[in-house]
Structures are given as structure tokens and as C-alpha cells.
Amino acid sequence: MIILFTAAVVVAIALVAVGRVVGETTSQPAHTVFDSAEALSFVAEALPDDVTAELSYDEVTRLMRLHLEYVQMHHLAPEDPDDPAANLVVMGEEDPVDHILRRAGESKKPVERHHAQAVVTAQLAYFEAIGALDIEPPDPGSADPDT
């Protein structure tokens, strides 16, 4: 009898523990996965014709990696995923472009500003498409058109 009671208590504790973990997991937002092959395809498709005429896939990949390097260097991932206010990150497009230009110049493979800008813009569109970036449209009733 004691064995059955002990087994029932162990099973009950296990069920409560599993139920709690499942409940915590379902309340968390889905994780966004960055697929580099998919990202390259998306970015290459989104680039203007004049840029795709001048950049190879290898060059686009290099610029995308430099942009990701910028994102990683500046820790643009949320510090506390459970706090919505901590998830707000302000990032201007010029900062990553300047980083790409500087790093590309260091590697003796300089890049033109409009190429870097086009890749950053396309990669940000990819981030938004996969749900890794959320850009709220401006409030139409706002007095300031940039907010």
C-alpha cells in the first residue's frame, strides 16, 4: 500500500511540474529563427535592379554579415524578453551603414554607400517579415509626422 501511495505522489508531482512548464512555455512568444539562405534570397530579391546589377551574391552576403555584426556588437537583442518595455530598441539606418562602410574599408574591399544602404533596408524588411522587427506605423493624429 505504501508503494502505491508513494507512486501516486510521485506521479502527481511530475504532472504538476510538467503542467507548470508547459503553461510557461505556451505564454512565451514564438522564437524567430534567422535562416541565412532564406535571408539572402529575400534580400537579393528586394534589392533595386541597379544594385543587383553591380553586386554578386557573395558581396550581398558579406554586407549582410557586416550588418549582423553591427546588430550583435550593439546588443540589439532585448535584455528581458518578458518585459515589453525592454524589447523596444531604437536603431537608425545610418548607423549600420556607417559600420558597414568602415568595416568594408578595413578589409580592403570598399563598398559604395548606396549599396550598403540598400542591403540594410532589405535586411530590415526581412527582419520585419519574419517577425524579428516590429515597426509601428506613425499615428495619423500625431502633430509630428515622424512619430
Give the pLDDT of residue 49: 93
Q: Which residues of 27-55 are buried (b: 16+ CB within 10 A; e: fewer)?
A: eeeeeeeeeeeebbebbbebbeeebeeeb
Between 8-12, 42-46, 50-54, 130-134, the lowest mean confidence (pLDDT) is in 130-134
Question: At residue 123, does pLDDT exceed 70?
Answer: yes
pLDDT in tens, 78-122: 555 566 555 555 555 568 999 999 999 898 888 999 999 999 999
pLDDT in tens, 20-78: 877 776 666 666 677 889 999 999 999 999 999 999 999 999 999 999 888 888 765 55
* pTM (2 d.p.): 0.63
